[in-house]
Each structure stands twice: as C-alpha cells, then as structure tokens.
Amino acid sequence: MEISALKSFIDVAKEHPFPIQNLPYGIFSSKNNSNKRAGVAIGDFVLDLSLLEEHGLLDISHDGSIVFDQPHLNNFMAMGKSIWRQVRECITQLLSHDNPALRDNSPLRRVALVPMTEVTMHLPAKIGDYTDFYSSEYHASNVGAMIRGSGNALQPNWKHLPVAYHGRASSVVLSGEAIHRPCGQIRPKDEEAPFVSPSQALDFELEMAFFTGQGNLLGHPITIDEAEDKIFGLVLMNDWSARDIQKWEYVPLGPFLGKSFATSISPWIVTLDALEPFRISGPEQSPQPLKYLQQNKASSFDIQLQVDLATNKGAEMILCESNFKYLYWSMAQQLAHHTINGCNIQPGDLLGSGTVSGPSERSMGCLLEHSLKPIALPNGESRGYLQDGDRVTMRGWCQGDDYRVGFGELIGTVLPSLK
C-alpha cells in the first residue's frame, strides 16, 4: 500500500507529528507503571511495545529473550535493519484501521495505548559515545568568515572530509531538562589575563543527530554502501555552546568545556523508513570526494527545521527556519569517514550533524552567526546570546500529502549559573 494511504484506527490530525506513517521509537514510563520500557508514538498515545511483546504480538527474539521491556533501545538497535523493518511492518499492521487484532481487543487496547499526558519520556538509548560533525557549508562559511575573513572562510580540509570532534556522552540530556549557565575560563580581550566566569555568550545550535544500530569490528571500516543500514534513526539535537569559553580554549585541539556541559536531544527516534518518502539529493560536492566517500544515490532528506525563543518577559519569536537538506556532508559519509580508520561504532552511539544553517539570514542555526547584529524581539528586547530564563524550542518535520512525519519538540530553558 502507498504510504500516504495508510490509515490507523486511532484518529490523528493532518498536522500531528506522529501519524501511522511515522511510528518513532522512545523509552517511557507511565503514571501506572514506573518501569522504563519501549514505546512507539501514534497520535496522542504511546503504544507499549513491552505489552505487545508479552502478549506474543511482537515475538522477534526467537530465543525467548526480552527486547522491549528494557530501559533503553540498545538491544533492539543491535538487531539490525531486517529486524527493525519487520517490527515496523508488524506495528503498522496492528495499528491499521482494518486490522482487528488490537482494535477489537478492548482490554489490551486500554492498557497498551497510554495517553501522552500520562507518560514520562527518558533517554532512548544508553549512549556510549557521542560525535559532533561540522557539516553545513553555510554555517562553516559564516563562522569562518567571522574568524579568518570571507576569503579564507573554509579550512583547506573542509570539502575533502566531514570535520568532527568527540563530545561528552554523559552530559547528553533529554528535552525538557533545564540547562544551568556554565562556568569556565574566558578572555574577552587579547591583552587581558583569563579569568573564571559564568559564560556571557551562551548559544544554542540547531542540529540533528542519528543513533547507530549494528556496529563494526575494530579495524573494519563501514563502507559508504553499508552506512545507512547501520543508522537506526534520527532525533533533534541542541548542542548548547558557551562561545566565550570555546573561543579561548579551542586552539589547538578544538571544543572542550564550551560544549561538554550539555547537549539536548528530543525523545522520539524517527527511522529512515519513515523518512524514505522525503529522500532528496544533497548539495553538489566539488571537488569530488575520495572514493570511500562517493555515493551512488540521493543521500539527504527534506526535513523542515524551526527554532523558537520565549523569554521570561513574555517575548516569543521564531529565530530560525532551516532544513536538513542544506547539510553538505550526508549521514552515510559521516559514518563512513568516522570508521575509515577502523574505529568501532556500537549500538546507541550518537552522531550529531553540526549546526544546520541555510543560505539566508532567516536560516542561520545559531546566535553566533547573528552576533555582529543582535536580534530584535517583538517586546523591545534584543538577543546577542541567550539570557537566563530563555526557553529554546526546536521542531522538525517532513510534509507529505495529508500527513506529516515529525520529530516532536526539543525544549530547553536556561537557568542561572550555579557558581
């Protein structure tokens, strides 16, 4: 059946991010059950996969082991693409309007479909490692021009490989968790001595990130043709950045304390199968990448992205409207490059895209790119960087015919420094 024609027995509005065409995975607990377990979002409900597993409607382990009654999705991620696809097809059938198995089983339906208002979401995976890329040419060019001038905006390596750094997995937090303003060494002027202070240049970064599934053995690279089969799905990501701390510390080894204090992600993982109808070609790459990075198919997705700001004085404003398609380096290229040296990826690793900026001022994915001209807010306030009490909300979605595949919201509020 054509994906746009799919219909669930659960009513879902056209603008809702979680129709039957989506079916993103997450980890949740509920008012009546404090155990963390796997679920799928469908409309305003969470479908409890652990209950479906218990009732024999999702028997995928073949050895009696429990897959979905777990506090993280790592075991499921490790099973690979064929199992992911099998489970997705089974859930789609169970939720279809013409399938009575769940629709007409009132006792099971009442407990298996938990209202979103009664759930608490948790990190979807036990994240072993976190890598953040720098894959938007627009972002890299804007920032490079600020530092080195427009004639030398991109470093010589930038169009030959996906630049990245390793981040701190322990400080990855879920949407809704507030972020304390970090402290660190800063040096506002070159002639001054550095001092320790709460950051005065706190920024958001509009990113997306993907979770890996089946990994590779140490010493065995993942090829470009294998890479997408290793990607479990995508989330929204806000890689909070203390620009003044980062500016002083980053030479010569790159970001450290200016990034490691917090990285926020959205709770629902959207699969590549859900995104497939929105696959498009990414930007033309010139010069042609080396052979291990060359792709033979369209490698990007038309995912609309938006960042909203709300202040504690009542101002609300859309700060950014961008799109995943603007990224120069694809997820497959990122993963192939990450492992060309034999680095071993594991289920549940998190790989960020880097700031997703586009060609216009409206599509700049962080405040740093606006820093030479602070943003005027409707109530007369302005923002060069984030202030205490500011709430940043990120959204992402793909627009289909009469349905929307969305990522939900990623929300973070800035709290005062603890120092």
- The residues assigned a catalytic role are 139
Q: How far apart are CA 196 and CA 188, in angstroms?
A: 11
Contacts of 252 (CB under 8 A, 6+ apart): none
Beta carbons of 228 and 259 less than 8 angstroms apart: no
Beta carbons of 357 and 365 less than 8 angstroms apart: yes
Q: Which two tokens stand for residue 133?
A: 């890329």
Partners of 233 in the beta sheet?
Answer: 211
Question: Is the torsion defined by CA of 274, 280, 285, 291 positive or negative?
Answer: positive
Beta carbons of 116 and 45 less than 8 angstroms apart: yes
Beta carbons of 191 and 176 less than 8 angstroms apart: no
Q: How far apart are CA 31 and CA 290, in angstroms?
A: 53
Partners of 359 in the beta sheet?
Answer: none
Task: Count CA atoms within 13 Å of residue 129 on its CB side.
Answer: 13
Q: How does DSSP assign 71-118, residue by residue?
A: SSSHHHHTT-HHHHHHHHHHHHHHHBTT-HHHHT-HHHHHHHEEEGGG
* Block residue for tokens 């059950």: 33
Beta carbons of 339 and 333 less than 8 angstroms apart: no
Contacts of 31 (CB under 8 A, 6+ apart): 118, 119
Query: CA nearest 25: which of 206, 178, 235?
Result: 235
Beta carbons of 398 and 304 less than 8 angstroms apart: yes
Beta carbons of 177 and 266 less than 8 angstroms apart: no
Q: How far apart are CA 343 and CA 218, in angstroms?
A: 6
Q: Which two tokens stand for residue 65?
A: 């082991």
Secondary element (H or E) of residue 308: strand 304-310
Secondary element (H or E) of residue 321: strand 316-323
